[in-house]
Amino acid sequence: MEAGGLEWLLVPMQQLVSWGAAGAMVFGGVVPYIPQYRDIRRTQNAEGFSTYVCLVLLVANILRILFWFGRHFESPLLWQSIIMIITMLLMLKLCTEVRVSNELNIKRRSFADFDLNYFWHWSKFTDYVQCVLTFTGVTGYITYLWLDSSLFVETLGFLAVFTEAMLGVPQLYRNYQNRSTEGMSVKMVLMWTSGDTFKTVYFILNQAPFQFSICGLLQVFVDIAILLQVYLYSYYPHQKPVPHTAHQASTKAL
């Protein structure tokens, strides 16, 4: 009687926990970008946010969705990719509008110019949409042709999660070059770390494709490395060389 009563109570609780974990998986990845979006909207300044973050996440999640057609995985992971794509497009739209409104240069750049010097620095949001649609169409067609190849499908899955895993590497390298984490949001990195840790545990417990678990662990290591930089550069700051006064004067005179 008691066992039956406990089972009646535990089953709904397990279901609720499962739903909660799935919901966190779907929406947890976009949470760190909400305060960033609000800050840009409030200050009308997008200089502190790199739109290359949007590029990396768009590519990674488009590839992950294509991977799903070759090898089905957990539905929350599929919905996570869809939500992330929508979020990154919204971020791009806001950043483009703010940057163009503050830009003194009246010359406009577009995707149709095919100028690599201005790739991902276009003047209209529609240009970014065209680029994303072109990438999706080309990779989608290639995936359709090679969908029966298990090697191609597994490689596609690896590229998807590996691209996302590399998201923090540019920040890691920038901190190393500057010997400082000044200007970087520690709160953002902490949210990345907690989210990536939860995501990796979710991958392992739900027996997601091995590419997901490996690259999830790689993401956590990169996040931890950035947090270590915060500690090291706070306690052992790098002294920047002070320019010589005479040199400054001669430069101004020139």
Q: Is 108:123 a contact under the CB 8 Å cutoff?
A: yes
pLDDT of residue 176: 82
Inter-residue contact 192 to 162 (CB < 8 Å): no
d(CA 154, CA 189): 29
Q: Tokens 């190849």 map to which residue?
A: 149
Model pLDDT, residue 253: 32
DSSP state of 239: -
Residues 85/62, Cβ–Cβ less than 8 Å = yes
CB 96 within 8 A of CB 124: yes
Please, which pLDDT band fits residue 105 given cuts at 50, 70 and 90?
low
Mean pLDDT calculated for residue range 165-176: 78
- CA 205, 209, 214, 215 dihedral sign is negative
pLDDT given for residue 164 in this prediction: 84
On the question of pLDDT at 244 being above 50, the answer is no
pLDDT band at residue 207 under the 50/70/90 scheme: confident
Compute the distance between CA of residue 24 and CA of residue 31 in angstroms, rounded to an integer.
10
Categorize the per-residue pLDDT at 243 as very low, low, confident or very high, splitting at 50, 70 and 90.
very low
Q: What is the pLDDT of residue 249?
A: 36
What average pLDDT does the segment 8-13 reach? 68
Give yes or no for a contact between 92 and 51, defined as CB atoms under 8 angstroms apart: yes
Of the two residues 168 and 48, the one the predictor is more confident about is: 168
The more confidently predicted of residues 45 and 81 is 81
Q: How far apart are CA 194 and CA 21, in angstroms?
A: 14
Please report which confidence band the pLDDT of residue 26 belongs to, taking 50, 70 and 90 as the band edges.
confident
At residue 124, does pLDDT exceed 50?
yes
Q: What percent of the chain has pLDDT over 70?
A: 85
Name which of 183, 167, 184, 191 is nearest 52 in CA terms.
167
How far apart, in whole angstroms, are the C-alpha atoms of residue 160 and residue 156? 6
